[in-house]
Chains A and B, each alone.
Chain A
């Protein structure tokens, strides 16, 4: 590893342990303070790794709550990368770290067949043995990936463009959210460019210990995005984890790539849309006929990787401005899934325990719809609470498009 973070800013105040959802859910995790800064001192002396390192889900609540700015989760991820270099992770972790690549290999098989193959009880039993829990809410492959569908969308040429980085979740499993994003950006007066050559941001690879693969994905993306940045176009994403990876993790993990290609900082698409609403570019006013829509009560879940970014909760404000919509912030902590963490056989129960506060908060609220930006948070919320969960931009579209249709 070329990067070293000094563990000595940690004053052992235990704030991170208090807010670590995994330490809350299992006493077998030594906790962020010990696994991060305390153990880092042992690592620097070349001593053995603590066996509970694998419990860290990289949710970053330790970083959010640390009063001294210690990037605890990065210490953990770098330690995991070191560990994985010595003992390569197994097939299960490879699969979970490379969802996008898997989809690419399987792209000739029709989605229905693929999903039947992946999601039938027999395969689930095999996957369970492999280490992917049989009850884990694995998302289904989409019929066509987002990048393919985006090419077919007829967009108005407004003279202003924005570059959209979909992230692998939207691209592989949830293209509708990406299409809704294009619709919203168009409404705000922006044509959406979807570069065809982008790959996964690499966060799932880091979390599963595939450091070199994450690095090569990062290099590919930074090289590609540099051209748009140099043209002065904003690059946005609807996925908080992708944004965090580009803005914080990549410069920290691979500083040399930043020097080579320059920083590429993805903007939060919801924040971008909110700014459009503020400037009058995006019309959120209710159409007269739109008032016929029934009022909507939504529970919003802020993904941990969004909270870690210091931008606040732009989606929450965007939703609150929609006509006839009342939104509550669930304020119930991590959903537990942490990307692929909650899919793992030995982590599934922990993830459910972590998310239990959120699930009961949603159920008790009586909300019929929940909203969250993060793709895997959405599958976890639907799985844990039984309530439908959508990306905020999809809700925005369903409210505003409906009004337009009525007007026409």
Chain B
């Protein structure tokens, strides 16, 4: 086969899609191999850049990066590159009519913002859809919390009682409302995605518009589950805000990740403008390598094997759950290139008894240099044309740091651009 592409990306999560878009926007021929759907199907749709370092909240993620250890992906890339990566991402989101913006504080500096979840907790995040009125989150005095009957995971009473525990929210006035389900008596309980899909269709969104109209003008913020449309279409949000007569903010929710699907929708739309091919249901089994380079990846194609040749390779295969890292007693292995990852032989030491403490498994992954090439114990690049991005990388703990999509966007961009450059050599 002579269907050799410039850049072969493995994985269609946030890191893989950004890597593909970066390389494709530089005119490279890009093929993506996927198995499953990647992280965006379960993601909330914001970009968390950096919320905590060593358990301490950092209001300014950029200042927080200086406190990170040297092996952290942000430190390896350097802050200027992380900024460039986010700019690239924002540019493409805006071009797909799904602009993402950071919250700015009074001095104009970009800061983290605390967004409510359906559990009534607050989570620091960095980039939000432009439709989200961040100022309303801090300034609103009268807040309506809305849910829908049958949506088991979102209880306004819980949200309100939990939010009141935070100083910034304690003395606000809350209203609660549970709207009858537009789906009526259905065989299954509704998810936020089912409701978001109703909002997609102009003829089936009247139930929410009418429910909000009853309170129109009486509040200065409405909090609701993520149901303002399942696609990257800001008009849906606008319709709901018009009905409410005030800003509307979605609470972050458990899967399915409605907000993440909007990001995926926008990224795939952006990719379709380029020389991009997606091969679904192709699980990469192994790599074929020479001394200093990778020549092909072998993927499973319904019971048979299929070789995929490329000039360069970006592996955005995910972590332990995504299958990019494989565990065996006392061993962790990267699944495609077969890289061994240094780990304590005693498995007891992989986790800490403190649930919110530091766990080895949470930051275990591939060690790379500043170009995202995997390195050996002498810090020399193993292969000239293999790049890693996203959760398969070591040195960061997205759950404790609140940095998941931030690292994925940053390292995806870096790996994509380095692979694009290497494909010209």
Look across to chain B and name the residue whose beta carbon is closest to the beta carbon of A248. B302
Cβ-defined contact, A309 with B188, below 8 A: no
Which stretch, A28-36, A159-167, A368-376, touches the partner chain B?
Answer: A28-36
Cβ-defined contact, A67 with B302, below 8 A: no
Interface check A27, CB cutoff 8 A: yes
Cβ-defined contact, B321 with A15, below 8 A: no
A313: chain B residues within 8 A (beta carbon): 277, 279
Query: Complex Cα distance A346/B14, Å?
Result: 39
Query: Complex Cα distance A18/B41, Å?
Result: 7
Interface check A176, CB cutoff 8 A: no
Cβ-defined contact, A331 with B188, below 8 A: no
Query: Complex Cα distance A69/B335, Å?
Result: 15
A17: chain B residues within 8 A (beta carbon): 191, 193, 256
How distant is A46 from chain B, measured CB to nearest CB, in Å?
22
Q: A17-B191, A247-B304 are in contact. Are A308 and B281 (CB under 8 A)?
A: yes
Interface check B36, CB cutoff 8 A: yes
Cβ-defined contact, B283 with A69, below 8 A: yes
B280: chain A residues within 8 A (beta carbon): 64, 307-308, 310
How distant is B302 from chain A, measured CB to nearest CB, in Å?
4
Cβ-defined contact, A67 with B256, below 8 A: no
Cβ-defined contact, B3 with A278, below 8 A: yes
Over the window 83-96 of chain A, the binary record of Cβ atoms lying under 8 Å from chain B Cβ atoms (1 yes, 0 no) is: 00000000000000
Query: Complex Cα distance A329/B306, Å?
Result: 23
Interface check A19, CB cutoff 8 A: yes
Query: Complex Cα distance A125/B267, Å?
Result: 47
Over the window 40-75 of chain A, the binary record of Cβ atoms lying under 8 Å from chain B Cβ atoms (1 yes, 0 no) is: 000000000001100000000001111111000000
Look across to chain B and name the residue whose beta carbon is closest to the beta carbon of A243. B302
Scan residues 88-142 of chain A and give those whose CB is less than 8 A from a CB of chain B.
none
Query: Complex Cα distance A329/B283, Å?
Result: 23
B318: chain A residues within 8 A (beta carbon): 67
Cβ-defined contact, B188 with A67, below 8 A: no
With contacts defined as CB atoms under 8 Å apart, how many contacts are there between chain A and chain B in the complex?
117
Cβ-defined contact, B186 with A63, below 8 A: no
Look across to chain B and name the residue whose beta carbon is closest to the beta carbon of A63. B281
How distant is B13 from chain A, measured CB to nearest CB, in Å?
9
B219: chain A residues within 8 A (beta carbon): none
Cβ-defined contact, A310 with B306, below 8 A: yes
| Contact-size category for A | 35 or more
Interface check A153, CB cutoff 8 A: no
Cβ-defined contact, A310 with B188, below 8 A: no
B71: chain A residues within 8 A (beta carbon): none
Cβ-defined contact, A18 with B281, below 8 A: no
CB < 8 Å neighbour of A13 from B41, B186, B304: B41
Query: Complex Cα distance A247/B301, Å?
Result: 9
Cβ-defined contact, A265 with B321, below 8 A: no
How distant is A125 from chain B, measured CB to nearest CB, in Å?
30
CB < 8 Å neighbour of B321 from A52, A67, A274: A67
B194: chain A residues within 8 A (beta carbon): 27
How distant is A276 from chain B, measured CB to nearest CB, in Å?
11
Interface check B407, CB cutoff 8 A: no
CB < 8 Å neighbour of A67 from B35, B187, B279, B301: B35
CB < 8 Å neighbour of B42 from A13, A19, A29, A30: A13
Cβ-defined contact, A308 with B37, below 8 A: no
Cβ-defined contact, B281 with A309, below 8 A: yes
CB < 8 Å neighbour of B38 from A63, A67, A69, A251: A67
CB < 8 Å neighbour of B37 from A31, A67, A244: A67
How distant is B186 from chain A, measured CB to nearest CB, in Å?
3
Identify the interface centre among B194, B256, B303, B304: most chain A CB within 10 Å of its CB: B303
Interface check A24, CB cutoff 8 A: yes
Given pairs A24-B197, A265-B304, A278-B2, 15 additional interface contacts (CB within 8 A): A13-B41, A27-B183, A27-B190, A28-B187, A28-B188, A29-B187, A52-B187, A64-B280, A67-B318, A274-B3, A275-B1, A310-B299, A311-B301, A311-B302, A313-B277
Residues of A within 8 A of B (CB): 11, 13-15, 17-19, 24, 27-31, 34, 51-52, 63-69, 243-244, 247-248, 251, 263, 265, 274-275, 278, 307-313, 316-317, 329, 331
Interface CB pairs A-B, < 8 A, 12: A17-B193, A30-B187, A247-B303, A251-B303, A263-B303, A265-B304, A274-B3, A278-B1, A310-B283, A311-B302, A312-B277, A316-B277
The 3 closest A-B pairs by CB, nearest first: A67-B36, A27-B186, A310-B301
